[in-house]
Structures are given as structure tokens and as C-alpha cells.
Amino acid sequence: MKTARTPRTIQFKAAPVDIQASDKSAPKFSMTAYTGGLMMVAGFDLPVVVDLDGLSIDRQSVPIRLEHQVDQGVGHTTEIQIANGQLYAAGLVSRQTDWAKDVADSGKQGFPWQASIGAQVLDYQLITESESITVNGQSIQGPCYHVTQSVLKEISFVESGADNETSAIITANQQTKGTSMAKTATQERKRIETIRATVDRFQSLLPIEDLREIEGAAIDSEWDNTETVENLLNRIELHNLRNSRPAAPIMASRQRVSADNADILAAAALMLCGHHATAEESYDERTLQAAADLKVNCALNLCSAALSLNMADIPSGQNDMIQASFSTGSLPLALSNSATKMLEKAYKAAPQTWRAIGAIRPTKNFHPHSAIRGVLKDGIYKPIGDGGEIKHANLAEEGMTYQSDTRGLMFSVTRKTIINDDLNLIFDLQHTLGINAARTVNKVFWETLRNVGAFFSAGNKNYISGAPTALSIDALSMAIKMLREQLDGDKNPIGTEPKVLVVPPYLEPLGRQILASMEVNQTGDNAPTANPWRNLNLELVVEPYLGANVGGSDSGWYLFGQKAITPAMLVSFLNGKDSPTVETANVDFNKLGQQFRAYLDFGVDTGDCRGAIKMEGE
């Protein structure tokens, strides 16, 4: 959902910095200013990714400061480079200030300075939890903010950065020409990849928490591969020594649910039911190989595999084995995870026409929320007289109210389902639940729009009835004129652009003809015949929930403006999560199996009445 905002300057923390003496009096520095990934940034409630394709650099020499303080100058850049989805900079500590001297002296002594860019944000958009984007060569999963347009204003030395993935290498003879800055980052990336591959080879000899600890230390302390292996061998020796001591009872370990085991079982379940593509999209090669090694060929076999992975005894009877497998915790989690993949895939694939006009709003709870927009009354700029006095505008507020609620369904997988090897039933039902979740939001949205009462009215100047409103070139011209003439509180035009034409299925052919026709059939002498709206690029949305067969109208239609400026319809999601949640639980004690439930917390409310026009069409 695109959300434009007033430009502001924020700081994006980044990478280590190298400072060294140069042939001239001013020391040189080079830095990786930004690695292209997600960061937590002051002023935003979600992680932020800055699109380097949209970062403007109007000059190669930008100011260098300390901690973004204007009065703490340090120097300037001599080179700025964007390569491999990252931002690099080099320059001179050229200022004669105490701050510059402190940075240069401490940096040459090895102090681990990092860098942070100061960028003016011109435009950004919200990426929801169910969406992912590719930015700077990286796949970014929401929820986050995607800064699409920004301008580099300054770069600062900082003591602590927020870009945890950055690991710039410091060389004895740092260069600042050509592609050498990008080359050092590439070398470091290869070192990290080698470290991780080495650590993975020891996965059968050490617990996962030990492996991750050593991997982190190797990356942070810049170990080479030899040092990493030495530390791994030392940890194995210590691990074996601890294991030689008396162990705790085996039943205590069976209660622990392994996330790795659950992923392996989930991948195996997807493969068993023929959903290989979904498994490959969801899990890494190591998990997929482990799942294939289980050789699961039926639902009962999956239960047996769950017990084996959790080092539990496998009962001989079917009922006992099913009950024991669900008690491990790994199998219920695996079925839940794999079923969730199918539900989310179906949810995203299902038609959701409401997204074309609905403005998404997050909620923190189920109480009513107010969307307050700051408005400057008498806000048009005034001429400044000879005295240089600038007139004050009055701050006012415009409010809209929205609220989320919970809707959901559930079903059970019983012992009979497992014995009959009907595991596909789980995924079929989750696929249906995913589609129905999307259909539910769509139904509530369009039925709310259809029954908004006085929201569309002559008094709000967004509603017309009568024969002239039947969908046609002339009627569309009337609606566009009405939308463009919407005024703010000071009686100035808001300036929203027409974006979406919404019609019921009955009007779809006519709507497509109007938007695609090159000429208008008319008989006036010397009158132009070109269709005035052919190049307006209106999006046509055809919605069955507006038709007469479901209580709507086959003749009424709507025109919507820019939802970022005048959001006519608000769709709220609890904590911004706009996809269903899947949960599992045991069935009643006298049954064997598992219950699944899916629910979605959302609400639909009207917003700004100036953002939409309704034409009765009769």
C-alpha cells in the first residue's frame, strides 16, 4: 500500500569505517555506508529498507559529520559509489575541528567507527506482512517500510550502527578508486559464506545453539577458516566431555519441541501430498534432504517418523502410535506449519478486488481507533511583504474511525483420516480456508460499501441519481468533474486524481468499451470524436458483490480517487497482519487427532467521503 509523506530527514546506521594517514596532511577514510537491507530507524514503527535505485546523490562531495550534528564537522567525501546493492563512500578528514581530530586519531588507532547516512525521505510505501519485495538485490519480507525515493544529504561517523549484517573488511592499504570499495565488501561476504559452510559441516557433532554461537563469534571477530575449525574442534571436545557425565532422564528431553524436526516433518508432509513446489519454496536444501531421507509414504509413516526424530519409542498398535506421535509436539507443529503454507498460498492467489481502493490501517486492539490527519487551515502560501513576515496557518484535525473484529473457522483431523491416509484432506481444507479468508474480506468490504447510508449523498457532493447517471462517457465525465471539484476546509480543491472505476458484472462490457474506445459515436457537426478518457489510465474493477443477484444494483457504479490522499474506505488489521492465522490443538480426550482453526482480525469502515463518487445509474 503506497503511503506518501511529507519529506523528512532520517538517519540510517551502517558500517565500520577505515581511517589512515594519506600522502597529504588530511587522513583518508573509506566506508560501507549501507548494505541494502532492513534497519530499525527512528521515526518508523517497522523496519525500513532504502531503495538505492531511488536514492539521489546530487554531488560526490557531501559533508561528513560526527553523530549527525551540524556543528560537529569532520570532512567531506571524494567518492560515492553504489555497487552490488550497497552504498560505499571515501573521502578526507579535512575539517580542522576537535571532532575531526578525535575521529582521525582514534580511527588510526583502530577504534571501530561506523557510518550512518542522513537521507531526506521523499516517498515510501508500507509492505504488509503477507507481501515481499526485491530491493537492492535482496528479497525483503514485510511488514516493513520501503523508502522508494530519497536524497543523500550527509554521512556521519557514529559509534554504534543498526545495520547488523554489515561486516566491512579493513585493509592495510585501503584504496578509494574504481571498484575497490565494492571489492572489499565482496571479499568479506565470501569469508562469511565460507565460515557458515564450515560450521554447517559440523551439524551432526554439535547442538545447533553451539554452532550458531561459534558462527557468530567467527563473523564478528573476523576469524579465517582455520581459526573457525580450531574453535569448532575445541567445542566438540568440551561437548563430548559434558556428555560423558550422567544424563537426565530421557522423558525430559521428549517434551522439548524441536523447530528443526517440525520443519523436516512439515516438508515431508507436503512432499507426501504432492506439494513439492510449496516445500521447495518454504524450506532450505538441508531440511528438504532430511525430509526426503525419512522416506515417508503414508500418513501413519509420518507419525512413526515424528516419534523417531524425537527419539521416542514407537508403539506397535496404530492407536497408540497416533496418540504418541501427536504428543511429541513436533507433529502437530509440522501439520500446522505445512497447512499454513497452503492456506497463505491460497489466500494470496484468491481475488481481492478491495485492495484497489481500500486503505490499510493497523490496529493495536479491538477498540475503535481514530485516524487523525493534521490539516493546515488557511494553508495556501501567502505573499511575503517588505517586512519579511510569514503568516501563520492554523492547525486543525480531520478524523476517521475504524475498528477490527475477529472472524474464523475450524475443522478436525481424526484418527480415521490418518489411518485412511487422507492427509491431503488437511491441505485441501486449508486451501479452502485460505480462499474463504480472502472471500470474507472481499464480502465484508463490498457489502459495507453497498450499505454505507448517508456516506454517499447530495449533501456530501459525492452522489447523483437519475437517468443521466447511467454509465456512459457523459456520466463518467460528470463523475470525474465532481471528484476533481472536491474541496478542503478552506474551500480549495483537494486535487485528488481519478484512479479506479468500480462496476458490477452487468456493466463490465460497457465499462471496458468506455475505457478502451478510441472514438465516441456522436453526430454533431465538426465536433471532436476522440474518447477523452481513453488515456486517463483508470483501473477497472468488476465486483460481483455489487450486483443485483446479491442485493446490490446492476446499474450503479463508483469512481474512486487516490487512496493515499482521500481514503474513502479503510480496512484495518490487528497489528497490521493482513493474512489468516492458523492454530492447532488436541481434539477431545475421547478422540484421537488434531483440531485446526484459522482466523483473521480485520474491520472495514468508511473514511473520507471526498475520495469516492457514487452514480445511481438509473
Among 145-154, 271-280, 562-571, which is the least confidently predicted range?
271-280
* Predicted local confidence at residue 523, as pLDDT: 54
Whole-number Å distance between alpha carbons of 83 and 290: 37
State yes or no: cis peptide before 143, omega within 30 of 0: yes
Whether 231 contacts 218, CB under 8 Å: yes
Mean pLDDT, range 96-112, rounded to an integer: 76
CA torsion angle 603 604 607 609 (round to 10): -170
Rounded to an integer, the average pLDDT of 311-329 is 74
Residue type, 101: K
Beta strand ranges found along 264-393 (DSSP E): 358-363, 369-377
Cross-strand partners of 365? none
pLDDT of residue 209: 78
For the beta carbon of residue 316, count every other beta carbon within 10 angstroms. Answer: 7
Query: In the prediction, which pLDDT does 211 show?
Result: 84
State whether CATH 3.30.2320 applies to domain 458-522+529-568+607-615. Answer: yes
Give the Å distances, CA to CA, from 481 to 231, 240, 486, 493, 593: 73, 79, 9, 12, 61
Higher pLDDT, 392 or 96: 96
Question: CA-CA distances (angstroms) from residue 398 to 43, 44, 45, 590?
Answer: 22, 22, 22, 57
Work out the pLDDT band at 153, boundaries 50, 70, 90.
confident
In this prediction, residues 197-210 reach a mean pLDDT of 78
* DSSP characters over 214-277: HHHHHHHTT--HHHHHHHHHHHHHHHHHHHTSPPPPHHHHHTSPPHHHHHHHHHHHHHHTT-HH
pLDDT tier at 469, thresholds 50, 70, 90: very high
Q: Please provide the average confidence, as pLDDT, over all residues in the chain.
A: 76
pLDDT per position as a tens digit, 520-551: 665 555 556 677 887 788 899 999 999 999 98
pLDDT score, position 405: 78
DSSP conformation class of 443? H
Q: Which of 62-66, 124-128, 410-414 has the lowest mean pLDDT?
A: 410-414
Highest mean pLDDT among 5-14, 59-68, 119-128, 154-163: 119-128
Locate CATH 3.30.2320 in the chain.
458-522+529-568+607-615
- The segment with the largest mean pLDDT, out of 126-130, 430-434, 521-525, 582-586, is 126-130
pLDDT at 382: 61
By percentage, how much of the chain surpasses pLDDT 70? 73
